[in-house]
Amino acid sequence: MIGVPGSGKSTIAQQLAEITQGIIISTDRIREQLYGEEIIQGNWSEIEAEVLRQMETAIASSQPIIYDATNAYPRWRLELLEKIALISPEIPRYWMAWVLETPIEICKQWNQNRQRQVPEFVIEKMGQAIANFPPTLSEGFITIYPVKPGYLDLKILLITNY
């Protein structure tokens, strides 16, 4: 998943998990596990270690993975994919980028309805990062799916684009 806070990543991740029988690995859930609340940003090294541990478990059991995080910056995406490549390198894996194209103003509105609200400047900053540095196939993705707000039938999107 690639998208700003409030763009609908977790909702789309849940839909994808149901379609693919995949496992959702969520940095917000991991923060809640480690620190008691997902709003606590915590230590990225600890969070990343748990992300990689969960990914290793999913890879070992051949489960599709849905990584629910902002992934706003190319460096974040590249570093994670490089680290994942070291986990059981003999097992092929294919990464698809699901880019939520929810307009920033809608993200801000949806953010107001969330239990955990993100400061608007963070939404704007991440939105600008994704606009300036959108994901590319050269980062290691086999395809990039743009997801418009309100898109409900992900099965059709999967079938028509893959």
pLDDT tens for 38-60 read: 888 899 999 999 999 999 999 99
pTM of the shown model: 0.86
Cβ 65 vs Cβ 23: under 8 Å: yes
For position 103, which CATH number holds?
Answer: 3.40.50.300
- The Cα angle at residue 74 between residues 90 and 23, in degrees rounded to 5: 50
Residue 103 lies in a domain: yes
Residue 18 lies in a domain: yes
DSSP secondary structure letters along 59-121: HHTT--EEEES---SHHHHHHHHHHHHTSSTTS---EEEEEE---HHHHHHHHHTSSSPPPHH
Residue 56 lies in a domain: yes
Residue 109 lies in a domain: yes
Q: Is 144 helix (H, G, I), strand (E, B) or coil?
A: strand
Amino acid type, 149: P
Kindly indicate the confidence band of residue 148, based on its pLDDT and cuts at 50, 70 and 90: confident
What value does the mean pLDDT take over residues 22-34? Answer: 96
